[in-house]
């Protein structure tokens, strides 16, 4: 039925060396991935994550919703984030209003935040899909976020410094000398897409030498329509990621280093310090699209969680799976090292057009991967089996039991007296307890001794005329000192009355303790449990109720007897006055003392009986008399109270709440949503039945459960419950507390299952013959979905220089049994499908297909051209804010241009640059952009009767618009205006024009707007070409004259106050004679 579970843990090569790791989920995507990780780990180990792994979820919307907007299911709630694992960064209305009202107090924010976003007002439940609000949330909660990160690092580091044998048992050895950090997010929305760069650089600033990697989900996973904002957001985010992804050694001349340094300015103090940090910030960046490179099909939008499960399992293999897949984890880590050269490569792409050469440089720091699985869910089945064991323990504890016919006999002969409430003549438990107490001396004897002590004295003074008074006074004093209980305060009661009351309280405590021991005994007995215990208590309550009536009657009789004796005493003492003879007087005194004894004993017994009645009533109340109520149908019903209610409420809690929670968990295990990426070949409930066995491979039956119940209570520590009744205290701490304690025991009791598994290859072959279509389809699906989840691009890329330079690796991890025809046949089928896959070892219950590709630029993202053309440019032209930086013109386009695009782009750029310098195209700075930012361009067409102003937008948007074929007429009008302006220049103006072109070509001592472009950028190249053409056309005189004018411009630039940049000035430098942007 089972195979022995053989893994690489059988030798030292199966041991995984782990680092402490922080996995940080940003937004809904990051949350979903982490929850899936926690669910996988819970299925295997019953905990939310390994002790050396810390999870942090940060979001502007922390409602308990999944990525698809649905409520979290039961199991997801079980593994939900604890306090200290999540940070709400919701932007409050008051915070936003404060920022907007006092911008000068927040220069670190308004140096990049676009004031046009104020129109959105208060943002509810998220960042509204606006990246700047996501970044603003990071700034607002920077201190809290970083404090949470530091605290989490402390926790996982503390765990890592201690040897944990349980980790070693699972094939894990910890190396606390390093730290891994993962950022998990999507670039499509507002939260993760807006804050990921700031977060990454904050982490890099805090831990300069740790591994920081990112998992990025692309927008195709969330929306098919390329016009949606998610694509514009993504293009903007990827541009920013690329911009700060350079390292200073990437390319010496192509990258202007200071333009690529990230500002560390999350507080006003940090902003004033002016610190920056050079990228790259991520050691590896994994991009995940909505289909694998094998063209296996596009993932449906509603299946996005399947992709999150894949990402979670990728991390789970690395950090949570133990020795089962240590071979695959080791290969992955080795591959990451081997891919480092490819990731550090840059791709410089050179353009040539009409003698103009320029280069765009793209980093190749990006990777992707794929992971598929054909499996039998042994981990989940084991956990389900453990839950089933606990559930069945609960059921045998709480199921109904018949009432034995000999119960009354059991009560009479044993139970009532053991508890201390058998008041029949043979036992008289209450009377004995009240009369004797702890001293074992009966109160009646104390009275008799008091009388005996005085008897001789009274007889000796028989002839005295004071005898009657002395006896009466003595009797009154004894009654007062011993039996008076008329005062409201017991402090003033008689000694014997106090003793009765104290004995009553002592016996009450004894009986209540005995009742709990009784419940303990009956609940621990499998044939009795709750029903018989309740019936025992009910019958005790009825007996006590009858006893209370009997004691009350007895008390009345005793008091009547006492009163009769009192009257007799009075008559005898009156007679004593009339009697003269000594013998007769002594006889009267003796008879009177006997009557006094009866008087006092009667009072004592009356008080004992009354107190016994009260005690019986108290105990009946404690057990629970019940109250009469009416149900929904109007019928009278008894509602339990007291100890019976406690016991039955406990049973209900065990059965309904704990048992119900366990049933929900088990159902949740059974209802794992199917994944198009994974293939599960489970046999459903039969799988669970197959694993529901004891260590001798025998099915677990009630006798097994009874033995394990005993073992459970024996194994509890000093703080744990020793029996079923004591376990109620654990339940009071929360049902999860009890469930976890029971599950720990179940995990230990079922530890023999770790050595049992089922063979996926064997199961597959049993279901489908190797030559069947179904068998081949399973292998095809396994391998197809194992390809990296980043399909080939259909838009223009340089295949030879880009696609063919990528590095790939493919794996199939399976359990291999030498000599097995079925295993040999499986490997043969895999090799026939794809020779690239390398075989690795794993446990028999799963087969992984996996791959990784690295060393490519962002341009290979499928449909990236549509991201830009249909969403990014369109939204920018409509005035939408997509970037988290006002000066977003510094971000290079991510795509290379086709030859025809190069022609249109350069011609448009040449026209536009000259038009801006000539004042034909006007540039306006935004009011808030004093510290740098964006220029808005517009063209005034005065060729008509009524001049028309056309808004062209920011620089890149204007170029993109004018490059389009449909804007050829507009481009032509601007060009004609430029030609006319140049043709009308005299020699002096032409020399100044030549100097101005040279000034901007060289960056203008940082006074030029075009300083932001790298030296080899096409903008600088166009300025250089135009200046060189003028010099070539006009000879040495033009060169010298331009040189002189250039000196004027340079002097002007250098005279600017230190630290005062004026890249947006529209004024003309003295002597230039031309309107410029300088």
pLDDT > 50? residue 902: yes
Give the dihedral of Cα atoms 782, 785, 788, 791; nearest 10 deg. Answer: 140
DSSP per-residue string spanning 851-881? EEEEEE-GGGSTTHHHIIIIIIHHHHHTT--
Closest CA to 515 of 397, 618, 393, 433: 618
- Tell me which DSSP letter residue 425 carries: T
DSSP assigned state of 180: E
pLDDT of residue 248 exceeding 70: no
Above 70 in pLDDT, residue 765? yes
Rounded average pLDDT over 348-359: 87
Of 451 and 942, more confident = 451
- Is residue 922 a part of any domain in this protein? yes
17-21, 156-160, 703-707: the lowest-pLDDT one: 156-160
Q: Which of 419-428, 578-587, 644-653 has the highest mean pLDDT?
A: 644-653
pLDDT at 1060: 43
pLDDT tops 60 at residue 505: yes
Q: 753: exposed, middle or buried (C-beta count within 10 Å: 0-12, 13-18, 19+)?
A: buried
Instruction: Identify the pLDDT of residue 163.
Output: 53
pTM: 0.82
Long-range (24+ apart) CB contacts under 8 A made by 701-709 are 702/396, 702/526, 705/389, 705/392, 705/393, 705/396, 706/396, 706/526, 708/389, 708/393, 708/745, 708/749, 709/393, 709/396, 709/397
Q: Return the pLDDT at 721.
A: 92
For residue 252, is pLDDT > 50?
no
Residue 697 located in a structural domain: yes
User: CA distances (Å), 584 to each of 459, 463, 469, 590, 1008, in order?
Assistant: 11, 10, 18, 10, 141
Which of 798, 828, 851 terminates a domain? The answer is 851
Given a cut of 70, whether residue 1005 has pLDDT beyond it is no
pLDDT, tens digit, for every residue of 275-292?
A: 999 989 999 999 999 999
Residue 1011 DSSP one-character state: G
Whether 902 is in a domain gets the answer yes
Are 57 and 85 in contact by the 8 Å Cβ rule? The answer is: yes
Q: Residue 1072 above 90 pLDDT?
A: no
In a domain, 542, yes or no: yes
Answer yes or no: are the C-beta atoms of 277 and 204 closer than 8 Å.
yes
CA distance 864 to 47: 41
Q: Give mean pLDDT, residues 254-260.
A: 57
In the prediction, which pLDDT does 433 show?
92
Mean pLDDT of 1018-1030: 88
The 3-state secondary structure of 90-113, one letter per residue: CCCHHHHHHHHHCHHHCHHHHCCC
Name 28's Cβ contacts closer than 8 Å, sequence gap at least 6: 59, 61, 65, 66, 67, 186, 189, 191
Own/partner pairs, 126-130, CB within 8 angstroms, 24+ separation? 126/59, 126/60, 126/61, 126/189, 126/190, 126/191, 127/60, 127/91, 127/189, 127/190, 127/191, 127/194, 128/190, 129/189, 129/190, 129/229, 129/230, 129/233, 130/190, 130/194, 130/881
In tens, the pLDDT along 814-835 reads 999 999 999 999 999 999 988 8
- Tell me: the pLDDT tens digits for 719-736? 889 999 999 999 999 988
Mean pLDDT of 655-681: 87
Q: 1012 lies in a domain?
A: yes
Residue 1020 pLDDT > 90: no
Query: Long-range contacts of range 276-280, CB-CB < 8 Å, 24 or more positions apart?
Result: 277/201, 277/204, 277/205, 278/247, 278/248, 279/244, 279/245, 279/246, 279/247, 280/244, 280/245, 280/246, 280/247, 280/363, 280/365
Domain-located, residue 805: yes
Instruction: Give the span between the Cα atoms of 481 and 497, in whole angstroms.
Output: 9
CA atoms within 13 A on the CB side of 730: 22
Quote the pLDDT of residue 213. 96
Which pLDDT band, with edges at 50, 70 and 90, does 3 fall under? Answer: low
Is residue 232 domain-shared with residue 296, that is, in the same domain?
A: yes
Q: For the chain, what percent of residues have pLDDT higher than 90?
A: 56
Task: Report pLDDT digits (tens) over 85-103.
Answer: 999 999 998 999 999 999 9
Pair 180, 22: CB distance under 8 Å: yes
Q: Compute the distance between CA of residue 83 and CA of residue 138 in angstroms, rounded to an integer.
A: 19
Domain assignment of residue 219, yes or no: yes
How does strand 636-639 pair with strand 627-630? antiparallel
Last residue of a domain, one of 593, 623, 653: 623
Q: Do 244 and 316 fall into the same domain?
A: yes
Q: Per mean pLDDT, which range of 408-422, 653-667, 859-873, 927-941 is the poorest?
A: 927-941
Output the pLDDT for position 231. 97
Does a cis peptide bond (omega within 30 degrees of 0) precede residue 498?
Answer: no
pLDDT at residue 267 greater than cutoff 80: yes
Beta-ladder partners of 935: 925
Whether 131 and 262 share a structural domain: yes
- Burial tier of 1068 (Cβ tally within 10 Å: 0-12, 13-18, 19+): middle
Same domain, 612 and 748: no
Least confident of 390-399, 563-572, 934-943, 956-965: 934-943
745 or 668: which carries more pLDDT confidence? 745
Give the pLDDT mean for 883-900. Answer: 90
The residue whose two tokens read 């019903």 is: 637
939 plus 995 within the same structural domain: yes
Q: What was the pLDDT predicted at 21?
A: 94
Closest by CA position to 712, among listed 392, 1036, 989, 245: 392
Whether residue 455 is found in the same domain as residue 578? yes
Both tokens of 81, joined, read 């984030």
Residue 787 contacts residue 854 (beta carbons within 8 Å): no
Look up the domain containing 781 and give its range.
760-851
Residues 357 and 288 in one domain: yes
Lowest average pLDDT, out of 213-227, 240-254, 523-537, goes to 240-254
Q: CA 1007 from chain center: how many Å?
A: 50
pLDDT value at position 164? Answer: 54
- Angstrom distance (rounded) from CA 695 to CA 692: 10
Instruction: Decide which of 851, 875, 900 is a domain's last residue.
Output: 851
Asked if residue 1077 has pLDDT above 50, the reply is no
Same domain, 607 and 522: yes
pLDDT at 421 exceeding the cut of 60: yes
Helix, strand, coil share of the chain (percent; to 5): 55, 10, 30
Q: What percent of the chain has pLDDT over 70?
A: 91
> 390 and 501 share a domain?
no
Do 746 and 765 sit in the same domain of this protein?
A: no
10 Å Cβ neighbour count for 673?
10
Closest to 928 in 3D by CA, of 98, 114, 339, 55: 114
Contact 507, 608 (CB under 8 A): no
Q: Are 389 and 242 members of one domain?
A: no
Phi, then psi, of 546 in degrees rounded to 5 = -65, -40
Query: Does 1063 map to a domain?
Result: no
Q: Work out the number of other CB atoms within 10 angstroms of the CB of residue 946.
A: 6
Give the CATH number of the domain where residue 170 resides. Answer: 3.40.50.1440
Into how many domains does the chain fold? 5
The whole-number pLDDT of residue 126 equals 59
pLDDT value of residue 965: 87
Separation CA 89–CA 141 (nearest Å):
6
User: Average pLDDT in the 205-217 region?
Assistant: 95
Angle formed by the axes of helices 642-652 and 582-623, nearest 10°: 20
For every residue of 253-267, which 3-state class applies, written as one string? CCCCHHHHEEECCCC
How many other β-carbons are positioned within 10 Å of the β-carbon of residue 1019? 22
Q: Look at strands 3-4 and 756-757 and give their pairing.
A: antiparallel
Structure-block tokens of residue 622: 């404690």
Task: Mark whether 72 and 129 lie in a shared domain.
Answer: yes
């Amino acid at each position: 039925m089972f195979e022995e579970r053989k893994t690489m843990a059988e030798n030292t090569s199966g041991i995984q060396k782990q680092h402490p790791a922080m996995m940080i989920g940003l937004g809904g995507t990051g949350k979903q991935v982490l929850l899936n990780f926690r669910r996988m780990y819970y299925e295997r180990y019953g905990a939310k994550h390994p002790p050396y792994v810390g999870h942090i979820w940060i979001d502007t919307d922390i409602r308990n919703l999944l990525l698809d907007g649905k409520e979290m299911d039961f199991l997801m709630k079980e593994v939900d984030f604890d306090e200290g694992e999540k940070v709400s960064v919701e932007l409050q209305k008051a915070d936003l209003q404060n920022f907007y009202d006092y911008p000068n107090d927040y220069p670190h924010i308004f140096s990049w935040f676009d004031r046009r976003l104020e129109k959105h007002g208060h943002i509810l439940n998220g960042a509204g899909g606006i990246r700047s609000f996501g970044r603003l949330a990071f700034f607002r909660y920077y201190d809290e976020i970083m404090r949470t990160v530091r605290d989490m690092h402390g926790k996982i580091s503390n765990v890592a410094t201690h040897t944990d044998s349980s980790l070693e048992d699972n094939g894990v050895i910890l190396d606390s000398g390093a730290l891994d950090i993962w950022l998990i997010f999507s670039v499509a929305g507002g939260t993760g897409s807006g804050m990921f760069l700031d977060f990454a650089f904050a982490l890099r600033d805090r831990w300069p030498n740790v591994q920081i990697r990112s998992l990025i989900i692309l927008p195709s996973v969330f929306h098919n329509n390329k016009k949606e904002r998610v694509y514009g957001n993504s293009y903007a985010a990827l541009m920013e990621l690329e911009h700060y992804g350079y390292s200073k050694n990437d390319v010496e001349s192509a990258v202007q280093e200071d333009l690529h340094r990230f500002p560390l300015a999350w507080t006003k103090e940090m902003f004033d310090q002016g610190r920056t940090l050079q990228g790259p910030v991520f050691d590896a960046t994994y991009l995940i699209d909505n289909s694998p490179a094998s063209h296996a099909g596009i993932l449906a939008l509603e299946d996005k969680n399947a992709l999150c499960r894949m990402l979670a399992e990728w991390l789970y293999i690395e950090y949570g799976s133990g020795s089962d897949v240590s071979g695959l984890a080791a290969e992955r880590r080795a591959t990451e090292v081997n891919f480092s050269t490819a990731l550090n490569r840059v791709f410089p792409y050179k353009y040539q057009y009409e003698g103009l050469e320029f280069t765009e440089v793209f980093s190749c720091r990006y990777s992707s991967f794929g992971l598929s699985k054909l499996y039998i869910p042994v981990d989940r089945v084991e956990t389900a089996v453990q839950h089933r064991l606990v559930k069945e323990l609960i059921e045998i504890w709480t199921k109904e039991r018949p009432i034995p016919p000999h119960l009354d006999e059991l009560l009479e002969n044993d139970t009532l007296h053991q508890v201390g409430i058998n008041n029949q003549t043979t036992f008289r438990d209450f009377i004995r307890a009240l009369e004797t107490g702890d001293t074992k001396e009966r109160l009646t004897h104390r009275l008799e001794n008091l009388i005996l002590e005085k008897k001789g004295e009274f007889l000796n003074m028989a002839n005295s005329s004071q005898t009657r008074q002395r006896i009466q006074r003595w009797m009154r004093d004894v009654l007062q000192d011993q039996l008076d209980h008329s005062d409201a305060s017991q402090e003033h009661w008689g000694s014997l009355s106090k003793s009765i009351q104290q004995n009553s309280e002592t016996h009450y405590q004894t009986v209540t303790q005995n009742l709990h021991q009784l419940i303990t005994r009956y609940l621990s007995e499998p044939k009795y449990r709750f029903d018989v215990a309740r019936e025992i208590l009910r019958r005790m309550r009825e007996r006590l109720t009858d006893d209370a009536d009997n004691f009350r009657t007895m008390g009345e009789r005793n008091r009547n007897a006492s009163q009769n004796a009192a009257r007799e005493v009075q008559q005898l003492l009156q007679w004593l006055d009339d009697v003269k003879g000594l013998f007769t007087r002594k006889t009267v005194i003796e008879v009177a003392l006997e009557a006094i004894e009866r008087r006092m004993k009667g009072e004592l017994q009356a008080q004992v009986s009354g107190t016994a009645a009260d005690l019986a009533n108290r105990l009946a109340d404690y057990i629970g008399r019940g109250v009469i109520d009416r149900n929904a149908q109007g019928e009278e019903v008894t509602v339990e109270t007291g100890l019976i209610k406690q016991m039955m409420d406990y049973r209900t809690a065990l059965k309904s709440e704990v048992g119900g929670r366990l049933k929900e968990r088990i159902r949740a295990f059974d209802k794992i949503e199917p994944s198009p990426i994974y293939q599960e070949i489970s046999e459903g409930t039969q799988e669970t039945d197959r694993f529901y066995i004891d260590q001798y491979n025998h099915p677990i039956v009630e006798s097994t459960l009874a033995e394990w119940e005993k073992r459970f209570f024996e194994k509890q520590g000093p703080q744990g419950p020793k029996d079923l009744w004591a376990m109620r205290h654990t339940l009071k701490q929360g049902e999860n507390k009890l469930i976890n304690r029971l599950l720990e025991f179940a995990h230990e009791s079922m530890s023999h299952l770790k050595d049992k598994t089922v063979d996926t290859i064997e199961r597959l072959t049993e279901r489908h013959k190797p030559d069947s279509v179904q068998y081949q389809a399973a292998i095809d699906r396994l391998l197809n979905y194992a390809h990296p989840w980043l399909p080939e691009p259909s838009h223009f890329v340089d295949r030879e220089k880009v696609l063919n330079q990528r590095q790939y690796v493919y794996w199939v991890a399976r359990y291999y049994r030498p000599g097995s025809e079925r295993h040999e046949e499986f490997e043969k089928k895999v090799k026939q499908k794809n020779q690239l896959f390398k075989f690795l070892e794993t446990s028999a219950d799963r087969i992984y297909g996996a791959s990784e590709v690295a060393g490519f630029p962002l341009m290979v993202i499928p449909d990236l051209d549509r991201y830009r053309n249909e969403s990014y440019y369109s939204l920018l032209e409509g005035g939408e804010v997509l970037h988290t930086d006002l000066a977003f013109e510094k971000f290079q386009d991510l795509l290379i241009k086709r030859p025809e695009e190069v022609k249109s782009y350069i011609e448009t750029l040449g026209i536009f640059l000259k038009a801006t310098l000539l004042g034909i195209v006007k540039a306006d700075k935004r009011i808030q952009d004093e510290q740098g930012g964006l220029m808005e361009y517009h063209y005034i067409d005065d060729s008509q009767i009524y001049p028309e102003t056309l808004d062209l937008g920011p620089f890149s948007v204007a170029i993109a618009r004018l490059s389009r074929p449909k804007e050829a007429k507009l481009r032509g009008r601007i060009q004609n205006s430029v030609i006319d302006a140049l043709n009308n220049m005299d020699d002096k103006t032409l020399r100044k024009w030549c100097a101005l072109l040279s000034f901007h070509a060289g960056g203008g001592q940082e006074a030029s707007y075009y300083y932001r472009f790298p030296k080899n950028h096409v903008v600088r190249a166009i300025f250089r070409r135009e200046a060189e053409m003028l010099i070539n056309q006009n000879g040495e005189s033009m060169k010298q004259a331009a040189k002189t004018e250039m000196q004027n411009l340079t002097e002007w630039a250098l005279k600017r106050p230190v630290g005062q940049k004026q890249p947006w000035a529209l004024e003309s430098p003295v002597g230039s004679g031309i309107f410029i942007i300088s």
